[in-house]
């Protein structure tokens, strides 16, 4: 029996982390997605409970007070948070959780779960990032805010365990899947009683 892994994907907005997570989940049955809560409005096609749990600010603040978040942060002037219960349950079962959260969130999860695996996804270039953001139908001021925030987020990549460049989507997904495979095979994730027969 092995301990479950927490894999955290961070990237500047528009670098493709949502698509990467979707593809990884389709490939791996041993992986579960942590659906975050947010106070931002849904984008076209985003369903409540699938992309996010969309909450009012009052609802979000009530959850903070009740200590229902593993971590939460203010990103682009909106609240985002990871529900604690889901992550704890999956990890207890020895299965893996993937979460797509920002750098502040990644660092606070690592403080609570030091064995979490931090992967930073880079866009192939700043121009590619700009055109992906422009293709979304977000308000202009939100696009400008996201681009401005990207600089700070990119600087945080050095604190991550792995950096993957999303130039070719399938390749990036394959690389992250390999990272997860290798990390879950670490000796430190193995229940020591497993090794006992070999040592007897």
Could you list the residues that contact ligand 5GP (CB under 6 A)?
13, 36, 40, 71, 73, 75, 80-82, 100-102, 104-105
Laid out side by side, the sheet with 52-54 consists of: 52-54, 36-38, 78-83, 69-75
DSSP 8-state secondary structure symbol assigned to residue 192: G
Nearer to ligand 5GP, 2 or 53 (CB): 53
CA pair distance 16, 122, nearest whole angstrom: 9
Nearer to ligand 5GP, 104 or 177 (CB): 104
Nearer to ligand 5GP, 131 or 181 (CB): 131
Task: Tell the smallest beta-carbon distance from residue 88 to ligand 5GP (Å).
Answer: 15
CA pair distance 9, 162, nearest whole angstrom: 10
The C-alpha angle 80, 85, 90, rounded to 5 degrees, equals 110
Task: Tell the smallest beta-carbon distance from residue 195 to ligand 5GP (Å).
Answer: 36
Whats the size of the chain, residue-wise?
200
Give residue for tokens 């007070």: 65
Nearer to ligand 5GP, 44 or 192 (CB): 44
Task: Tell the smallest beta-carbon distance from residue 161 to ligand 5GP (Å).
Answer: 17
Task: Tell the smallest beta-carbon distance from residue 199 to ligand 5GP (Å).
Answer: 42
């Amino acid at each position: 029996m092995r301990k479950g892994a927490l894999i955290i994907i961070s990237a500047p907005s528009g670098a493709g982390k949502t698509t990467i997570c979707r593809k990884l989940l389709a490939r791996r049955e041993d992986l579960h997605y942590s659906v975050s809560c947010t106070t931002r409005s849904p984008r076209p096609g985003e369903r409540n409970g699938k992309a996010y749990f969309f909450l009012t600010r009052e609802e979000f603040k009530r959850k903070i007070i009740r200590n229902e978040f593993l971590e939460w942060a203010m990103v682009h002037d909106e609240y985002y948070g990871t529900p604690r219960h889901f992550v704890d349950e999956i990890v207890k079962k020895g299965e893996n959780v993937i979460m797509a959260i920002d750098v502040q969130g990644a660092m606070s999860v690592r403080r609570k779960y030091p064995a979490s695996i931090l992967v930073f996804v880079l866009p192939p270039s700043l121009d590619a990032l700009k055109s992906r953001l422009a293709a979304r139908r977000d308000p202009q001021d939100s696009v400008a805010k996201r681009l401005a925030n990207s600089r700070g987020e990119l600087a945080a990549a050095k604190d991550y365990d792995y950096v993957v460049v999303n130039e070719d989507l399938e390749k990036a997904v394959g690389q992250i899947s390999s990272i997860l495979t290798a990390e879950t095979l670490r000796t430190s994730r193995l229940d020591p009683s497993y090794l006992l027969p070999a040592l007897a």
